[in-house]
Amino acid sequence: MTDTPPVPGRTVVVGGGPGGMLLAYLLARAGLPVTLLERHQDFDRDFRGDSLHPWTLEQLDRLGLADRLLELPHVRARWFRFHTPRGTVTTSDYGRVDSRFNYVALMPQARFLDFLAREAAELPGFELRTGAAVNGLVTDGAGIVTGVRYRVGTEEHELAAELVVAADGRFSRIRRLAAMTAESMGAQTDLLWFTLPHHDDDPDDADVDLYFGEHHYLGLISGPGRWQVGYSLPKGGIAAVREAGVEPIRRFVAEQVPWLADRVHLLTDMNDTTLLSVDISRVPRWHAPGLLLIGDAAHVISPVGGNGILMACQDAVAAANRLVPALRAGTPGEDVLAGIQTDREPAIRRVQDAQVRVERQVAKARERGRPITPPAFLRWLTRIPAVRGRSARRNAYGPNPPSLSPALLAAGSRTGG
In the chain, how many domains are there? 2
Residue 45 lies in a domain: yes
Same domain, 206 and 218: yes
Cα gap 374→353, rounded to integer Å: 19
User: Which of 86-95, 137-146, 259-268, 378-387 has the lowest average pLDDT?
Assistant: 378-387
Question: Domain containing 28 — which CATH number?
Answer: 3.50.50.60
Residue 92 lies in a domain: no
Same domain, 295 and 358: yes
Residues 321-357 pLDDT 10s? 999 999 999 889 999 999 999 999 999 999 999 888 8
Helix (H) or strand (E) holding 362: helix 334-368
Cα gap 148→134, rounded to integer Å: 7
Residue 107 neighbours by CB under 8 Å, 6+ apart? 50, 52, 69, 72, 73, 74, 75, 223, 224
Give the pLDDT mean for 375-387: 76
Residues 92-133 pLDDT 10s? 999 999 999 999 999 999 999 999 999 999 999 999 999 999
Same domain, 253 and 347: no
Which amino acid would we find at residue 175? R
Cα gap 362→319, rounded to integer Å: 34
Residue 165 lies in a domain: yes
Q: What is the pLDDT of residue 344?
A: 98
Cα gap 39→131, rounded to integer Å: 4
pLDDT greater than 50 at residue 415: no
Q: DSSP for 338-358?
A: HHHHHHHHHHHHHHHHHHHHH
Residue 227 lies in a domain: yes
Q: What is the pLDDT of residue 361?
A: 79
| pTM (2 d.p.) | 0.93
Cα gap 112→43, rounded to integer Å: 9
The alpha-carbon radius of gyration of the chain (Å, integer) is 22
pLDDT greater than 60 at residue 316: yes
Q: What is the pLDDT of residue 96?
A: 95
Contact 29, 414 (CB under 8 A): yes
The average confidence (pLDDT) of the chain is: 90
Same domain, 143 and 205: no
Residues 45-82 pLDDT 10s? 665 678 999 999 999 999 999 999 999 999 999 999 88
Same domain, 121 and 12: yes
Contact 312, 300 (CB under 8 A): no
pLDDT greater than 60 at residue 37: yes
Report which DSSP code applies to 332.
Answer: -
Residues 171-210 pLDDT 10s? 999 999 999 999 998 888 899 999 999 999 999 888 889 9
Same domain, 354 and 224: no
Same domain, 180 and 266: no
* Residue numbers of the domain that contains 265: 194-234+237-276
Q: What is the pLDDT of residue 8?
A: 72
Q: What is the pLDDT of residue 3?
A: 53
Contact 181, 227 (CB under 8 A): no
Confidence of residue 416 (pLDDT cuts 50, 70, 90): very low
